[in-house]
Structure 1
Amino acid sequence: MTKNTKTLRIIAWFLGSLVLLVAAVILLGGVLFEARNVKKGSLLYRLGAPEYLQSVPIIEECRAPIYKWRGRDGGSNPYTSLTYGSRDKFDGLLKSYQNFFKKMACTAKPSIYASHLELECSNADFISVSISASGVDECQGITIDFVENY
């Protein structure tokens, strides 16, 4: 093998690696900006889910939590969301979450719905939290939505 061939191979290897790296960064950046159906503990969850979302307690889990989020795009508020199934009664869940979010400077807003809790927050990460329940079976669906701060 000549010296020129070795040099060309090294340059080709370097350029190929660079192209793959740029493609990976673009794909990962897009996924971290907007993600759906993310499972707890996955690599995407660890890299992309905000710390406050990861800290939300899962109460009496009967269906695994699924996370989603969307970053700032200039046209809409950034948000994060968590959906899971719980065996606990919704009244107990509401009290638990109200106490949990109280530590994050959130206060409950009046609601006419028994299966919904709306919280207004004044912290650096998010401005509101909405907690709702769906279904009346043993494993009711719980959704916790956050609207992030700009």
Structure 2
Amino acid sequence: MKSKDNVSIWGGANGSRLMSSFLVTLSTLAQSAGNHPGTNVLAADLFDLAWSFRDAEIAEVRVSVLVAFATSIAFLPLDFLLQKLYGADGDSFPGYLKKTAIGDSDRNCRELATAITKNVSTSLGGLGSDFVCRDQIITGGKW
């Protein structure tokens, strides 16, 4: 299910709508679960699932991916979040947000990526400002 290359499920307009609706539904479920002890597991799984579809061709899916990221970040265990922010992965979360905020063809995606970056930076305090500066997402206080 995690592969966006499975054309029989995700191909075409219907597949894109299905994936988009699925991610938004899971985001709503995670948000509604609130501080339940299992929410952090759901948030981590949601983040990983959304990560698989971050480069989707359809803007509606990319927006849903960003919604899933924005929702899951609030509930992720700190060690999981720090791994995503500072991990040695070749394709990092901050790098993805930078690329999306600056170069995505869809205005909504650019705005969501910008908002997520600012929220992470604010929420993590000193660590968050390091996150922003590390990938030079903000230059001179402006995007």
TM-score between both structures, scaled by the size of structure 2:
0.27
* More helix, by proportion: 2
TM-score between both structures, scaled by the size of structure 1:
0.26
Which has the larger Rg?
1
* More strand, by proportion: 1
